[in-house]
A and B are shown apart, each in its own frame.
Chain A
Amino acid sequence: MAADFSIEIQQKDDVSVLYPNGYIDFEARQSMVPTFHDILAKGGRKILLNFSGVKKINSMGIAGILELIEQATKSSAVVKYSNLSRMNEKLFKMIGLTEYGTVHESEDEALKEFR
Chain B
Amino acid sequence: MGDTWTERDMSIRVELPTVFKNELVAEAVARQVAELSGFSEEEIEEIETALGEACINAIEYSKCFNDYFTVTFTATENFLQISVEDKGEGFSPEEVDHNPTISSKLNSEYKRGWGLMLIEQLMDEIQISQAEPSGTKVEMKKYKSTADQQ
Instruction: Identify the A interface with B (CB < 8 A).
Output: 1, 3, 23, 25-26, 56, 58-60, 62-64, 66-67, 69-70, 73, 86-87, 90-91, 94-97, 99-100
Contact = CB atoms under 8 A, between A and B. Distances in A.
Interface of A is mostly: helix
Interface of B is mostly: helix
Q: What are the 6 tightest A-B residue pairs by CB atom distance, in nearest-first order?
A: A96-B102, A63-B111, A87-B45, A59-B114, A1-B21, A66-B111
B107 A60 contact: no
B23 interface: yes
Contact of A3 (B21, B53, B112): B21
13 contacts: A23-B21, A58-B23, A58-B52, A59-B53, A59-B115, A59-B118, A60-B56, A63-B111, A67-B111, A86-B42, A91-B49, A95-B102, A97-B102
A21 to B, nearest CB: 16
B121 interface: yes
A51 to B, nearest CB: 15
Nearest to A98: B102
Contacts of B1: none
B78 interface: no
B11 interface: no
Given A3-B24, A56-B52, A59-B53, A73 B114 contact: no
A89 to B, nearest CB: 11
B22 A1 contact: yes
A3 B21 CA distance: 8
B118 A94 contact: yes
A95 B106 contact: no
A95 B122 CA distance: 12
A69 B25 CA distance: 30
Contacts of B114: 59, 62-63, 95
A70 B106 contact: yes
Contacts of B67: none
A66 B107 CA distance: 9
Nearest to A67: B111
B22 A70 contact: no
